[in-house]
Structure 1
Amino acid sequence: MGGNMRSSKKSGGFQAMGLSYPVLKGILKRGYKIPTPIQRKTIPLALEGRDVVAMARTGSGKTACFLVPLFEKLKTRQAKTGVRALILSPTRELALQTLKFIKEMGKFTELKAAVILGGDSMDNQFSIMHGNPDIIVATPGRLLHICVEMDLKLNNVEYVVFDEADRLFEMGFGEQIHEIANRLPETRKTLLFSATLPKILVEFAKAGLTDPVLVRLDVESKLPEELTLSFITCRAEEKLAVLLCLLKNIIKSDASTVVFAATMHHVEYIHQILDKAGISNTFIYSNLDASARKINTAKFQNGKARVLVVTDVAARGIDIPHLDYVINFHFPAKCKLFVHRVGRCARAGRTGTAFNIVSADEYPYLLDLHLFLGRPIQIVPPSGGSNANGEIGKLPLSMVEEELVELINWHNGSTDLVNMEQVCNNAYQQYIRSRPGASSESVKRIKELQINEAGVISGYSNIQSDVTDLLARMKNYRPQGTIFEIGVNASSADYQVMKEKRSFHKENILNFKRKREELCNKLKSNANESSSVKSTLPSSTTDEINETFSQVVMPKKRKIEDLYKKSKKKRQIKDDEFYIPYCAPDKHTEDGLAVNTFATEAEKAQMDLTADSEDSRRLQTQLKKWDRKKKKMVTINNDPKAGKIRTESGVWIPATYKSNRYAQWKEKSKIDAVNDDDSDEEPQHLQKLRTEPHTHWARHNKKLKEKVKAKSEIKRPEQILKARMELEKRRNRNARGKKKGQKKGGRRR
């Protein structure tokens, strides 16, 4: 009975994953009870021994995703083997956080973990490596430095984790990662975690991982139902005025708002304008100092600033749980980037609004987004809208004009703002060059939609005054006469030509106007009909259906017994131990016929972030990518190799990585003497660490030591062979000398 009770109990937790007792005890002791969705998908794959590329946000429990399989694979401490697991992190803080998790969760496995970080003492790190830790948590730059100095091969590494891999490549660690990967054995298991999936990361995964699985939760590919979208059209010069209108008149003063801008210069410019307007705000961009970024983020999270102005690159690592509004000051060029931005609000059942300020050059991207989301384009008619979600319209003109006048006054009184505006204009031109283009179909179709003629969004129409209405009518007014007819006599030739031309095309013009009016009326009537149908047709209840229909045909639910019987009939007896298939299990993959391969899955999930400064844009062009012909990672543009050395794998790394500090440390700490006394117990990977002296004085001292040692009377085979070869050379030389002497003597005679 007890056994039946156990079997009926749900087993969706960590207990059902078949983990060993020390690992499971550490997980439960840490306080984990139910695995998160990313853990439920990733951990079983990693335990099977598959290479995994997982897309996971910060705070989704990804640390446990790679630590649980790591502990299960390494089992217990092995002092003589050396490093068996490697975790690469982009920053010091993340590496130290991971080490803390390892010590807490792996308490009962007795595995030894160590951290190798830039800025710490190298002498201490040499002694750490001699202590043979099982797990190393490191930043790529310092780890490679240690590997080059100590000539570490990392042959015993079984498990590698690239944590926040997109940030590793963003920070320019491409060369170091590739060199570290070359030093690792091919039989290793690799886990790669990332919030986004840029192209360079996909190329690296294809080259460095064996048949990887892409784990991607489709949470970020769809917009939450609680999110309200609003698209506000305006001229490029009016964007700042529209932003001030939103923050002053529409968004509540106690609400938290994130504003996304294209470049770091726009972030600083918007920050200065908001300070002038008296709106409490703070800002973050990639070039900002780490401590300043931390302080500014804390200001916003603690509620001291109501607006946070950011770029895409800077906002990638920030988790803001209670965000009310998102404003896209510059409309994102990629649909996935739009979802990534606006998905930061309306989380966990909360409501949120995303305002999008769109200018004329961004209209094609707006159409691309609607096609991606599968939503109809709802342009507000000039008369007014129906207050629907996702409408494309304008703000009241009086409101925008008021803020525009104030902005002009601020700029007239401040040279700093004028200079900053000019810098932003130049930066925007650079941004447009690097911005990916919209689809050609969207560029063609956007001309037919006439977004410029959109009316005021219904939610803000009550703010519109009579003056605004008059201005809007004036803007839409089209005069009958052309420029050739204004201020010209009726008897002039120009006037007569234009009059004849108009009379000739009169019918075509009238037909065009009539068709346009009919189309507008048809669209309005369809909208009214659909709204009336929705409002007048309530849904029927199950009781009413049962009363009306005596028999209701429903889809059959299969019983477990029936499924078992069918599967039993189809089951074939096959002995896996002796069965030899006709073709390899991955034949369809090799032939390029696989449907759900990593390449196809990764292409769907791929998303590159545009750089927010000129330096980072230049760095992006210098990043490594996989060359199919050369079969190695190469730089996109050939940067100069000054101050770099080439490794065995062909990668150029900084020459400072080989500074001979390890030899000096060994001499200082007398590690060689200890190794000689304890040679039997020395691990295999440390026996390879003995290096030859590279400097002049080191070689000189070595020779002196060798002279002091007593010469052995018994010669080695190599020494005997060398002596014989030298003797043979001497004999040949003497023989040639004798022949020359004889020839000279013969001539004299």
Structure 2
Amino acid sequence: MGLSYPVLQGILKRGYKVPTPIQRKTIPLAMIGKDVVAMARTGSGKTACFLIPLFEKLQARQAKAGARALILSPTRELALQTLKFIKDLGKFTGLKSAVILGGDSMETQFSAIHGNPDIIVATPGRFLHILVEMNMNLNSIEFVIFDEADRLFEMGFGEQINEITNRLPNRKQVLLFSATLPKILVEFAKVGLDNPVLVRLDVESKIPDELKLCFVTCRPEEKLAVMMCLLKQVIKPESQTVIFVATMHHVEYISQILTLAGIANSFLYSNLDATARKINAAKFQQGKVKVLVVTDVAARGIDIPHLDNVINFNFPAKSKLFVHRVGRCARAGRSGTAYNIVSPDEYSHLLDLHLFLGRSFNIVPPTEAKNVPEEAIGKMPQSMIEDEQSNLISWHESNTDVYNMQSVCDNAYQKYIKSRPAASVESIKRVKELDISFAGVLPEFRGLCNDATDLLTKMKGYRPRGTVFEVVAKPSSVDYKVMKEKRAFHKDNIFNHHRKLEERQSWITEVSESQDTSKLPSSSNDEINSAFSEVILPKKRKMDNLYRDEKKKKRKNLKDEEFYIPYTAPDQHTEEGLAVNNFASEAEKAHFDLCADNNESQRLQKQIKKWDRKKKKMITIDNNSRVGKIRTESGVWIPATYKTKRYEQWKDKNKVVAQMEAVEEDEDADNETRRQLERLDTSRMTHWARHNQKLKEKLMVKSELKRPEQILKAREILEKKRARSGRKKAGGRKGGGKGRNRRR
């Protein structure tokens, strides 16, 4: 790749030897100055793809040039991780970096920017706030990176990103990295990037081969017990595990349960204080605790070294979110396991996931089959679950905090279900036909319990032949006779239903036993090309367009131009544009909603309400209103809260203006002295050369002299030190006198 020695030294120090496929494709393109949109699966080394070209472009530290590179990240954890990566990889380059995050002190961030860092890592919201507050100039930016760009737009940073992009110079190189490619990202790439190159790798294999998936079905009230069984009996105590839950209330609740069970853990969620988030994440990354409970705030971009397991306590509603969650482990060639606890209300989302991944939907048969396929859907032995369930019940009865937290979690989950995206209609229909609830025990759990003691599982599988009316009642009773008549009337339907169930169960058992679970080695591209004379790849855009054009040419034009009368006038669009009172536009305004019965209610219905975290209530938002907004140089209206006077107050407090003027005067004086020294030639041994040598010595002495302001400042500091030391001596004498009085 032609890397310089300091960059290569940092890469080797980090321990990297062979680049990943996305790095091999992206780094050379970025080195020649191309704008790149790179797509690859999670954990494929996308961070190094933009940092290595960045170090090569910037080369060395330039203290007076200003920031030359900007990296935008969606979350503070990802930004801090990128900063750590910059310090590791760029250890020998001498480049200075700064991080701008929401929740941190703005005064500290003002100081960091005044230190002229070469690289700024930031979240979009706080960075735009700093830009507006400081009226900052970004003309020195040469390199812009959007990390996890799809997540940036999903989290609602679109306005901030567009405003930041408008302030950037035209001559810049942009690298955009994403796991998916939504439509809004394509539109942004068209406008914000200059002739970009799309690098799309590893999209077909959404989950790495080293990751093992395990799906455990259970009732909703048994989820916590299943999770405790996994942590205590299945997962090794020394391995690191991340547990993903639905809401922040579940995070606190599960953390309390794990603490009662003696399992050291930490937790993360979005509303947690920034300092606490940093401390809890550091505990887990450094190995002080082995379990981390998080919401989806940590599902994207976070690289946790040597992560072994992921547990999905609440199954994700979106398949892409599942990919990002389980992508935290099995990164960079390491192996890992993702345990998924699935309840009946999540079966349809589980089927959607298998369709998205293109994998077979295998259910473990109730009877012990010989060859159960890998990544099958089954359950855990009931005896294991009951043991943990009894412990949980006793903890809830004895601990008031845990009991109250459980009710809070139940209410939060009901709210979560209302906002959870629904599964596809086809999956909801097909799940009803599948017997997921009657799945057998997974093979990896069979050796953890004794079959003789697993009596509850056998009892659960028992189905009596008669109903309650037939078993309990006497043969002479009316209920018994009515049920017998009803059963005789529907005898054929009952027989056919049981026959279909038996046939289906036998077919599932035969398929599961006949499937070979061994994996065949994959073939290389050279082997495929040598075996086949022609290889047809999917989605050939150019060929599709050519075929479409040929098809259009073959179509016959059935319109007779001589007798054809169009149903619209030729100048229809012009007339609509010039019309003052157009019927269509007036009719759209004159609609009537049955939900509102007066003008005031209709006006309120059109307004949008949004939850305000600070006020803790729903507030009305009028998008068209410009009240409380300011207009930027690019013409965009942003909230006025971005422009306060905190920067001016900070400058006055720290006397930044006087310091900057003094520095500029020193620079001007140094430059003038340097120019005078350059003019004086002392290389030749002549009379004027000796004269110039004397002048040079005078200038050197003059440049070392202090200015009056510097002398005054030094005197003030010296006086303060003397006053401080005098107060200390007086206090010591006073204390000594009191001691003598006491002794007397």
Q: Specify the TM-score bucket, using the shorter chain as the normaliser.
A: 0.5 to 0.7
Report deviation, 1:277.
Answer: 1.8
Counterpart pick for 1:650 among 606, 626, 636: 636
Report deviation, 1:666.
Answer: 8.8
Cα deviation code 1:461-498 (max 9, x no counterpart): 35244453465345441432365885376463x65554
SS at match of 2:243: strand
Report deviation, 1:511.
Answer: 2.5
CA distance in 1, matches of 2:334, 2:127: 43
CA distance in 2, matches of 1:96, 1:229: 32
CA distance in 1, matches of 2:284, 2:81: 21
* Identical-pair percentage: 56
SS at match of 2:374: coil
Aligned partner of 1:449 in structure 2 is: 434
Is the aligned partner of 1:375 residue 2:359?
Answer: yes
Residue pairs, 1:229-308, within 5 angstroms: 229-308=213-292
Aligned partner of 2:443 in structure 1 is: 458
Cα deviation code 1:7-39 (max 9, x no counterpart): xxxxxxx12xxxxxxx73543454567654333
Cα deviation code 1:139-196 (max 9, x no counterpart): 6556545644565564565542334556766887554332221223455432223567
Counterpart pick for 2:106 among 119, 126, 134: 119
Letter matched to residue 486 of structure 2: K
Query: Which sections of structure 1, spanning at least 5 residues, go unmatched?
Result: 1-13, 16-22, 540-553, 559-584, 594-616, 621-634, 682-749
Letter matched to residue 380 of structure 2: L
SS at match of 1:390: coil
Cα deviation code 1:431-473 (max 9, x no counterpart): 2223221111111001111111122223333524445346534
Counterpart pick for 2:25 among 41, 51, 66: 41
Letter matched to residue 397 of structure 2: N
Aligned partner of 1:513 in structure 2 is: 498
Is the aligned partner of 1:363 residue 2:350?
Answer: no
So what's the TM-score if we normalise by structure 2?
A: 0.64
Assess if the C-alpha contact under 8 Å between 1:233 and 1:393 holds in 2: yes
CA distance in 1, matches of 2:369, 2:44: 40
1:656–1:365 CA distance, 2 compared to 1 (3 A) = closer
Assess if the C-alpha contact under 8 Å between 1:58 and 1:317 holds in 2: yes
SS at match of 1:363: helix
Aligned partner of 1:193 in structure 2 is: 177
Letter matched to residue 24 of structure 1: S
CA distance in 2, matches of 1:350, 1:80: 43
Aligned partner of 1:404 in structure 2 is: 389
Aligned partner of 1:661 in structure 2 is: 648
Report deviation, 1:240.
Answer: 0.8
Counterpart pick for 1:427 among 412, 418, 421: 412
Is the aligned partner of 1:477 residue 2:463?
Answer: yes
CA distance in 2, matches of 1:442, 1:76: 56
Letter matched to residue 321 of structure 1: P
Assess if the C-alpha contact under 8 Å between 2:144 and 2:173 holds in 1: yes
Aligned partner of 2:601 in structure 1 is: none
Query: Which sections of structure 2, spanning at least 5 residues, go unmatched?
Result: 522-526, 532-540, 550-609, 614-619, 672-744
Cα deviation code 1:232-288 (max 9, x no counterpart): 111100111111222223333333322221222112111111222222333222333
Aligned partner of 1:326 in structure 2 is: 310
CA distance in 2, matches of 1:470, 1:82: 70
Letter matched to residue 4 of structure 2: L
CA distance in 2, matches of 1:481, 1:316: 52
Is the deviation greater in 63-72 or in 379-388? 63-72
Residue pairs, 1:17-56, within 5 angstroms: 24-31=4-11, 35-47=19-31, 49-55=33-39
Cα deviation code 1:313-369 (max 9, x no counterpart): 135354233233322211122223323333333445554332221100011111112
Residue pairs, 1:126-165, within 5 angstroms: 140=124, 143-145=127-129, 147-148=131-132, 151=135, 154=138, 157-163=141-147, 165=149
Letter matched to residue 228 of structure 2: L
Residue pairs, 1:4-23, within 5 angstroms: 14-15=1-2
Counterpart pick for 2:167 among 164, 174, 183: 183
CA distance in 1, matches of 2:621, 2:182: 15
CA distance in 2, matches of 1:393, 1:45: 47
SS at match of 1:313: helix
Compare relative contact order (CA 8 Å, sep 6+) and give the higher one, 1 or 2.
1
CA distance in 2, matches of 1:488, 1:99: 81
CA distance in 1, matches of 2:528, 2:277: 57
CA distance in 1, matches of 2:642, 2:11: 44
1:392–1:637 CA distance, 2 compared to 1 (3 A) = farther
1:587–1:524 CA distance, 2 compared to 1 (3 A) = closer
Please give the root-mean-square deviation of Cα atoms over the aligned residues, in Å: 4.8
CA distance in 2, matches of 1:227, 1:116: 33
Aligned partner of 2:454 in structure 1 is: 468
CA distance in 2, matches of 1:124, 1:299: 28
Assess if the C-alpha contact under 8 Å between 1:244 and 1:403 holds in 2: yes
CA distance in 1, matches of 2:43, 2:439: 41
Counterpart pick for 2:368 among 376, 384, 396: 384
Letter matched to residue 409 of structure 2: C
SS at match of 2:365: coil
Counterpart pick for 2:422 among 413, 422, 437: 437
CA distance in 2, matches of 1:147, 1:74: 22
Assess if the C-alpha contact under 8 Å between 1:54 and 1:215 holds in 2: yes
CA distance in 2, matches of 1:86, 1:152: 13
CA distance in 1, matches of 2:507, 2:483: 34
1:427–1:165 CA distance, 2 compared to 1 (3 A) = same
